[in-house]
A = this chain, B = another copy of it.
Amino acid sequence: MGDQSVKSALLLAAASLAISSAAHAEEGMWTMDAFPTEQMRKIYGWAPDKAWLDRVQAAAVRLTGGCSASFVSDAGLILTNHHCVRSCVQALSTAEQDYIKAGYNPATREEERTCPGQQAEVVTSISDVTPTVKQAIGASTGEALVKARDAVIARLEKEGCTDTATTRCQVVSLFGGGQYKLYKYRKYSDVRLAWAPSEQAAFFGGDPDNFNFPRYAMDAAFLRAYENGKPVSTPAHLTWNPRAPEAGEVTFTVGNPGSTQRLLTETQRAFARDVQYPIVIPLFAELRGRLIAAMEGDPERARTGADLLAGIENSYKAQTGYWGALRNPAFAANLAEQEAELRAKVAADAALKAKVGDPWGAIEEIDEKRRQLYLDYLFLESLGGGFSELYDYAQTIVRAAAEREKPNGERLPGYTDSALPLLEKSLTDAQPIYPWLEELNLAFWLSKTREYLKTDTPAVQRLLGKESPEGLAERLVEGTRLADPAVRKALFEGGMAAVKASKDPLIQFVLKADADARAVRRKWEAEVTGPTAVANAKLADARFGVYGDTLYPDATFTLRISYGSVKGWDERGTPVPPTTKFAGLYERATGAVPYDLPSEFAAAKGKIDMATVYNFVTTNDIIGGNSGSPVIARDGSVIGAAFDGNIHMLGGNFGYDPVLNRTVVVSTAAVQEALEVVYPNQRLMRELAAK
């Protein structure tokens, strides 16, 4: 799976569930302050109490790279997935010492190495700021709404976290604008790699087996949070429980699902199905092809491009699955029916109708604008620079310079006082830069921008001038000095004067290009996101009015809990058992990539306990961003780390199917066995065993 992958649950189904059946029992990514205790108790005869939930919340970690995790020792040890630390492992590697291939298994704590750009965060409080935000917005719409909202959010976040060295505040919009909550985090900005298996062990079966099950993947890793050069003390950690899961036992996932689209209207789903995916999927397909071919036969490129390729392939497969669900006639009909039901119920309730109005009609009107603006917004702003790290640096520097000259409340989100510390960390942490990859990414973005927006469009002509995409990309990458963190730091600290004075070609390019990007962003906000927020607030009113308040919001990369159980499923009549064992890895290995047995597993063959449960599936409702979430047993101990969904789960972006959707987990038992005989590490085993 990945940072933006897959999960499960139909809001409207969930809503009716609150009233009636247990059919969709496992559906829902619940906020910690609204756990459906009664509902779970009805089904399982038990539900966690507030103390249980508080303990779990205190141990739940968000990784700013886009993953979830948990503390599993009292010395800041963090369990997550290998694919969540993959970028870090690659950044720490060189052509001579490739930890992606070999794994990283330091003998001492002193050898644990800092992951650039990574920050770990633990929620310490959640407060409802809906009245404050809604009051600030008032009756404003369009651009005015966006400005008013962003200003009050900037203020709330700044006031909420005065100690910016150890805390972070974020206001999150739930139900697309129906609710606003202020999350306060304890943050740890020095996160080090404590253990990682080899990529081949972590991602055995590669892209073909991704989102599939049965599965044999050691997709686990350990990080450690440091402060002032020392491991942080984390007494509120989960208990490491290296036992096999039992079929049918209750499981919880606690993590940060990134994004779901379960509350979209029919109009918005049609946009996704007919406009967005048909553009984005082929883009990813071509970039994937370019990367594969550019890496073919060149070991150093194969090494340095692998992380981006893995990300692209994961995202491509996930999005292909989301899209496929929308094109599945039965799935689509079910969603349409649920919208029709909600609309009928609103229409039948005069008071509610008067309060709600016609948000569906409003969204249809927005849709026309959205279709007109989408390509410009996508290529000039949303995908600006493609996957070029250097372009990101340049744009961050240029925008930060412009935004920091404004009062806090008038800045773009991401450049407010509450956001600056992480921004500065991301910008100035040392990261390896691979020029061939930068050129490939920039040339791809420039050439696709010309292809979709057309050669003769003024914004395209301003981007390219008389240069070709490839020539321009080469000139910018060869000429820029932004690969050097000191150069980035100096420009960031020098503000607009330094930026304007800079002779760096990429800085100058972005300074010029950013006018068009900002213009289309303003238009998009005024005509699309602003009006959509108004309509969404009305839709939230409609849902609460019809189904009561036992609803969960779409995923927002904030802490959520899901309950479920260890359970296989029927694949076209054939039962798929809920667990795999180490023996299966050796049976599935063919000797050819991506099914070649990792050499360390080949070496450990005689020592490994073949009956150990390797991976397992549960009915928990997760999606991309949940990667690394602890899978927690009833007693609060951790028995696995969620790392994927099965293929049916991809529809979960739009709706949860309790019959087929499954979360895929690497068991703590397997990790324990690996630490015992495959990657021997008595130090970590002792630490995990301490209660």
Residues of B within 8 A of A451 (CB): 207-208
Closest Cβ neighbor of A466 among chain B residues? B590
Closest Cβ neighbor of A332 among chain B residues? B274
CB distance from A173 to the nearest CB of B (A): 30
Interface residue A685 (Cβ < 8 Å from any Cβ of B): no
| CB < 8 Å neighbour of A289 from B281, B287, B467, B593 | B287
Residues of B within 8 A of A466 (CB): 590-592
Residues of B within 8 A of A293 (CB): 289-294, 440
Interface residue A355 (Cβ < 8 Å from any Cβ of B): no
Interface residue A7 (Cβ < 8 Å from any Cβ of B): no
Interface residue A286 (Cβ < 8 Å from any Cβ of B): yes
CB distance from A292 to the nearest CB of B (A): 6
Residues of B within 8 A of A283 (CB): 285
Interface residues of A in 456-471 (CB under 8 A from B): 466-468, 470-471
Rounded to whole angstroms, the CA-CA distance of A208 and B452 in the bound complex is: 9
Interface residue A323 (Cβ < 8 Å from any Cβ of B): yes
Residues of B within 8 A of A290 (CB): 289-290, 292-293
Instruction: Give the size of the chain A interface in residues (CB under 8 angstroms).
Output: 43
Interface residue A339 (Cβ < 8 Å from any Cβ of B): no
Rounded to whole angstroms, the CA-CA distance of A323 and B275 in the bound complex is: 11
> A interface, by DSSP: helix, strand, loop or mixed?
helix
Interface residue A455 (Cβ < 8 Å from any Cβ of B): yes
Rounded to whole angstroms, the CA-CA distance of A450 and B274 in the bound complex is: 27
Residues of B within 8 A of A320 (CB): 282
Q: Is the CB of B285 within 8 A of A467?
A: no
Closest Cβ neighbor of A289 among chain B residues? B289
Interface residue A296 (Cβ < 8 Å from any Cβ of B): yes
Interface residue A288 (Cβ < 8 Å from any Cβ of B): yes
Residues of B within 8 A of A212 (CB): 454-455
CB distance from A302 to the nearest CB of B (A): 12
CB distance from A604 to the nearest CB of B (A): 22
CB distance from A317 to the nearest CB of B (A): 9
Interface residue A327 (Cβ < 8 Å from any Cβ of B): yes
Closest Cβ neighbor of A283 among chain B residues? B285
Closest Cβ neighbor of A295 among chain B residues? B293
Interface residue A479 (Cβ < 8 Å from any Cβ of B): no
CB 8 Å contact bits of A257-284 with B (1 = contact, 0 = none) = 0000000000000000011001001111
Rounded to whole angstroms, the CA-CA distance of A205 and B471 in the bound complex is: 16
Q: Is the CB of A208 within 8 A of B591?
A: no
CB distance from A280 to the nearest CB of B (A): 10
Rounded to whole angstroms, the CA-CA distance of A440 and B293 in the bound complex is: 8
CB distance from A187 to the nearest CB of B (A): 39
| CB < 8 Å neighbour of A593 from B275, B284, B468, B594 | B468
| CB < 8 Å neighbour of A468 from B205, B287, B450, B592 | B592
Interface residues of A in 573-591 (CB under 8 A from B): 590-591
Interface residue A209 (Cβ < 8 Å from any Cβ of B): yes
| CB < 8 Å neighbour of A592 from B284, B289, B467 | B467
CB 8 Å contact bits of A226-262 with B (1 = contact, 0 = none) = 0000000000000000000000000000000000000
CB distance from A206 to the nearest CB of B (A): 10
Closest Cβ neighbor of A439 among chain B residues? B296
Residues of B within 8 A of A590 (CB): 466-467
| CB < 8 Å neighbour of A286 from B289, B454, B593, B595 | B289
Rounded to whole angstroms, the CA-CA distance of A595 and B454 in the bound complex is: 14
CB distance from A200 to the nearest CB of B (A): 13
Q: Is the CB of A323 within 8 A of B278?
A: yes
Interface residues of A in 194-224 (CB under 8 A from B): 205, 207-209, 212
Residues of B within 8 A of A208 (CB): 450-451, 454-455
Rounded to whole angstroms, the CA-CA distance of A323 and B327 in the bound complex is: 14
CB distance from A602 to the nearest CB of B (A): 15
| CB < 8 Å neighbour of A327 from B278, B281, B467 | B278
Residues of B within 8 A of A324 (CB): 278
Residues of B within 8 A of A450 (CB): 208
Interface residues of A in 549-570 (CB under 8 A from B): none
CB distance from A508 to the nearest CB of B (A): 19
Closest Cβ neighbor of A451 among chain B residues? B208
CB distance from A243 to the nearest CB of B (A): 30
Residues of B within 8 A of A294 (CB): 293-294, 296
Closest Cβ neighbor of A292 among chain B residues? B290
CB distance from A526 to the nearest CB of B (A): 22
Rounded to whole angstroms, the CA-CA distance of A593 and B455 in the bound complex is: 12
CB distance from A482 to the nearest CB of B (A): 23
Interface residues of A in 420-442 (CB under 8 A from B): 440
Rounded to whole angstroms, the CA-CA distance of A286 and B467 in the bound complex is: 25
Closest Cβ neighbor of A324 among chain B residues? B278
Closest Cβ neighbor of A208 among chain B residues? B455
Central interface residue in A290, A293, A296, A592, by most chain B CB within 10 Å? A293
CB distance from A314 to the nearest CB of B (A): 13
Rounded to whole angstroms, the CA-CA distance of A17 and B620 in the bound complex is: 59
CB distance from A418 to the nearest CB of B (A): 39
Residues of B within 8 A of A327 (CB): 274-275, 278
CB distance from A182 to the nearest CB of B (A): 41
CB 8 Å contact bits of A582-614 with B (1 = contact, 0 = none) = 000000001111110000000000000000000
Residues of B within 8 A of A292 (CB): 289-290, 293
Central interface residue in A467, A470, A592, by most chain B CB within 10 Å? A592
Rounded to whole angstroms, the CA-CA distance of A547 and B282 in the bound complex is: 40
A interface, CB within 8 angstroms of B: 205, 207-209, 212, 274-275, 278, 281-294, 296, 320, 323-324, 327, 440, 450-451, 454-455, 466-468, 470-471, 590-595
> What are 18 pairs between A and B in contact, CB < 8 Å?
A207-B451, A208-B454, A212-B455, A278-B281, A281-B282, A282-B320, A286-B288, A288-B289, A289-B292, A290-B292, A290-B293, A293-B440, A455-B595, A466-B591, A466-B592, A468-B593, A468-B595, A470-B593
Other CB < 8 Å A-B pairs besides A278-B323, A289-B291, 4 of them? A207-B451, A283-B285, A289-B293, A293-B294
Closest 7 CB pairs of A and B: A289-B289, A293-B293, A286-B289, A468-B592, A282-B285, A289-B290, A285-B285
